[in-house]
Amino acid sequence: MELSAWVTLALIVALVIVLARELIAPAAAVGIAVVVLLLLGIIDSKQALSGFSNPAPITVAALYILARAVEKTGVLTPLVAATLGNGVGPRWQLARLLTPTAAASAFLNNTPIVAMLAPQVEEWAIRRGISPSLLLMPVSFATILGGVITLIGTSTNLVVSGLLVNSGMPGIGMFELTWVGLPVAIIGVSAIVLLAPRILPARRAAREDITGDVREFVVDMDVVDRGPLDGKTVAEAGLRHLQGVFLVQIERSGELIAPVGPDFALRGDDRLRFVGRADLVVDLQRTRGLVTAERGHLPPFDPMRTAFFEAVIGPSSPLVGRTLRESGFRNRYGAAVLAVHRAGRRIEAKLGAIRLQIGDTLLLLSDAGFRDRWYDHRDYLLISRLGGHMPASTRRAGLVALIGFGIVVAAGSGLVPILEASLAGAGLLVLFGVLTPGEARDAVDLDVIVLIAASFGIGAAIESSGLADTLASGLVGVAAGFGPLALLFGIVVATIALVEVITHNAAAVLMFPIAIATATASGLDPRPFAIALTIAASSSFLTPIGYQTNTMVYGPGGYRFSDYARLGAPLTILVIAVIMIVVPIVWPL
């Protein structure tokens, strides 16, 4: 193996470690790796930038805009309302919920589908005394399974299609994956319906900490009449930056005052409401001029001014690795954190000292517009209002559905390529005022787009350095006595293993040149290897970090890390079996 191959291998190993340990954002990690490869001369500028001229990233960006329009206009609201009915049993309810969910995911990005479904499913389950953990993971898995049915079901499909085009082969057709993706989805959803009620444990949802026991997070204190705080402002009284609590409202003569500014003057007999961890609060007890309120009931929060929210931290969030105090959470987001949930448990510690991680669920109190302000930002994967209502379907929902249908028909019939169809659809959504230009821009996850585009440079390095040929030769040598199916099996299993530690798009890009080189070295058709790789790269069911939708439901469902393998392991085995049976039949090796 030449020096360039050794250097590329070392860099790939370092990249996998960085991505697996989440040391920096995936897009930044891949971008840095490409720059290093370029500076070392392993790839040239054309190879380094090949992803930015490939149709895949732009197509994914356009489809993000379509997905945002679908969510904004409530196109799927009738579907959600129909699925959350009164099922006669857990398996029947799962079947009603997962079948249309998987079908919708075949044509829409699965992240907004889960963002729309998860809060409604969670609220519905809690109202009926059902643990949301029995439903949320199946919803995530169903969107993953549905995403492999068509070319536009997930970004990974488009990435592999773009890699095929870069390699001089035809891209994947709109419904080419359906031959194997549909059996995978049908068998996978059926397995979830049969196994989930028996395998998944009933966990306590994160939001139940608030809905079930508000008192644990609310502290009411009275200002002593003519005491040391009477007449002082909030800031002068030292109530602006307390440890572990946040002053959210004041009750004065029956009137609720919120939000409370630092210059607001206190009066005797004012009732101050704080939110935070009541059992850890020591600052209030030491504050002269405040006494514990003894009224037997708590007046409700004004829903027009304040609301409880559940927010899940994503891999690209600036909060990852920082404490609430270090991030200036209150000032930055205008919200008070009541609790932090991780791995199915509330963290018992001072809130300001907790170092946040990917998948942490924050239970917080803010003004009613919190979700609207932060929904399209990378800070959170999921934001849902507790006790919120299902969004209504608007009059533009029909137009969005028609445009989406037009994209599928135009690309599926071969009338226009998927890039042109998706760009035209996104343009029409802005032209007809469904989305403003700003909303369309915010709908695009730039981190994902940059990650996809930069990843093409990594794939080029694996191929041009000779690393792909070397690894392929080793794989062929090991499986030489077992035939072509063993080679296909090796690629599929290696891809699934890689997907569980790094992003699915990065795994697809890393494995693609190896898969193609393996097929070529054995004198086999590379296309079935590419198709199998595509399905495998989206089959992440073993951990909460392998796929974004799994992370989104991790905290809200109250899951523990090992819960995913309970249902994910048999599902993964079934997916591998379907790939190994169907792919060689439809695409002969």
Q: How far is CA 37 from the centre of its chain?
A: 30
Contact 396, 405 (CB under 8 A): no
Instruction: Count CB atoms within 10 A of the CB of residue 36.
Output: 15
Determine which of 19-28, 232-241, 275-284, 507-516 has the lowest per-residue pLDDT on average: 275-284
Which amino acid is present at 29? A
DSSP string, 502-530: S-HHHHHHHHHHHHHHHHHHTT--HHHHH
pLDDT of residue 297: 43
pLDDT in tens, 214-268: 545 667 788 988 888 999 998 888 887 666 667 878 888 878 787 788 889 999 8
Q: Is the peptide bond before 228 cis (omega within 30 degrees of 0)?
A: no
Instruction: Count CB atoms within 10 A of the CB of residue 380.
Output: 25
pLDDT, average across residues 68-72: 82
Contact 19, 503 (CB under 8 A): yes
3-state secondary structure at position 198: helix
pLDDT, average across residues 190-217: 75
Q: What token pair was written down for 553?
A: 């439901």
pLDDT of residue 190: 94
Q: Is the pLDDT of residue 52 over 50?
A: yes
pLDDT of residue 186: 95
Contact 284, 223 (CB under 8 A): no
Cα separations (Å) of 146 from 97, 149, 189, 229, 281? 13, 6, 9, 60, 47
Q: What token pair was written down for 10?
A: 């070392």
Determine which of 42-56, 292-306, 308-322, 566-580 has the lowest per-residue pLDDT on average: 292-306
Bridge-based pairing of strands 380-385 and 306-313 is antiparallel
Angle at 518 between CA 517 and CA 523, to 5 degrees: 95
Query: Which phi and psi angles does 70 have, rounded to 5°?
Result: -60, -45
Bridge-based pairing of strands 361-367 and 306-313 is antiparallel
Most confident of 177-181, 300-304, 377-381, 559-563: 177-181
Q: What token pair was written down for 411?
A: 């690309």
Determine which of 29-43, 82-96, 416-430, 533-547 has the lowest per-residue pLDDT on average: 82-96
Q: How far is CA 326 from the centre of its chain?
A: 24
Name the more confident of 126 and 577.
577
First-to-final CA distance of the chain: 28
pLDDT of residue 295: 46
Most confident of 88-97, 199-208, 408-417, 560-569: 560-569
Determine which of 175-179, 447-451, 470-474 has the lowest per-residue pLDDT on average: 470-474
pLDDT, average across residues 106-112: 83
Angle at 425 between CA 454 and CA 68, to 5 degrees: 70
Cα separations (Å) of 346 from 205, 208, 297? 10, 11, 25
Q: Is the pLDDT of residue 578 over 90?
A: yes
Contact 458, 507 (CB under 8 A): no
d(CA 213, CA 349): 18
Determine which of 168-182, 246-260, 280-294, 363-377 has the lowest per-residue pLDDT on average: 280-294
Q: Whose CA is closest to 342, among 329, 359, 327, 323?
A: 359
pLDDT of residue 298: 44
Q: Whose CA is closest to 176, among 190, 189, 160, 187?
A: 160
Contact 383, 370 (CB under 8 A): yes
Q: Whose CA is closest to 346, among 330, 363, 326, 371?
A: 363
Q: Is the pLDDT of residue 285 over 80?
A: no
3-state secondary structure at position 275: strand
Q: Is the pLDDT of residue 296 over 50?
A: no
Q: How far is CA 204 from the centre of its chain?
A: 21
Q: What token pair was written down for 469?
A: 């040929």
Give the chain's mean pLDDT. 82
Kindly state the helix (H) or strand (E) to which residue 291 belongs, with its residue range. strand 290-292
Location of structure tokens 């840095």: 32
Rg, the chain, Cα only: 26
pLDDT of residue 535: 94
Q: What token pair was written down for 33?
A: 């790796």
Contact 323, 355 (CB under 8 A): yes
Q: What token pair was written down for 148?
A: 């492999």
Determine which of 119-128, 291-300, 562-571 has the lowest per-residue pLDDT on average: 291-300
pLDDT of residue 26: 79
Q: Is the pLDDT of residue 506 over 60?
A: yes
Q: Is the pLDDT of residue 288 over 90?
A: no
CA atoms within 13 A on the CB side of 120: 21
Contact 61, 448 (CB under 8 A): no
Which amino acid is present at 482? F
pLDDT of residue 207: 66
> Residue 133 gets which letter from DSSP?
G
pLDDT, average across residues 10-15: 86
Q: Is the pLDDT of residue 350 over 60?
A: yes
d(CA 117, CA 101): 9
pLDDT band at residue 144 under the 50/70/90 scheme:
very high
| List of domains in the chain | 3-206+403-586 (no CATH), 208-292 (3.30.70.1450), 306-385 (3.30.70.1450)
Q: Which residues contact 413 (CB under 8 A, 6 or more apart)?
A: none
pLDDT of residue 398: 84
Q: Whose CA is closest to 59, among 160, 195, 189?
A: 160
Q: How buried is 426 (Cβ within 10 angstroms: 0-12 exposed, 13-18 middle, 19+ buried)?
A: buried
pLDDT of residue 475: 73
Q: What token pair was written down for 500?
A: 């569980």
Contact 314, 381 (CB under 8 A): yes
3-state secondary structure at position 139: helix
Q: What token pair was written down for 189?
A: 């959803």
Contact 386, 210 (CB under 8 A): yes
Q: Is the pLDDT of residue 165 over 80?
A: yes
* CA quadruple 503, 77, 382, 444: dihedral sign: positive
Residue % of the chain over a pLDDT of 70: 89
Q: Is the pLDDT of residue 89 over 90?
A: no
Name the more confident of 110 and 476.
110
d(CA 407, CA 418): 8
pLDDT of residue 204: 75
Q: Whose CA is closest to 137, among 82, 188, 178?
A: 188
Determine which of 81-90, 157-166, 295-304 has the lowest per-residue pLDDT on average: 295-304
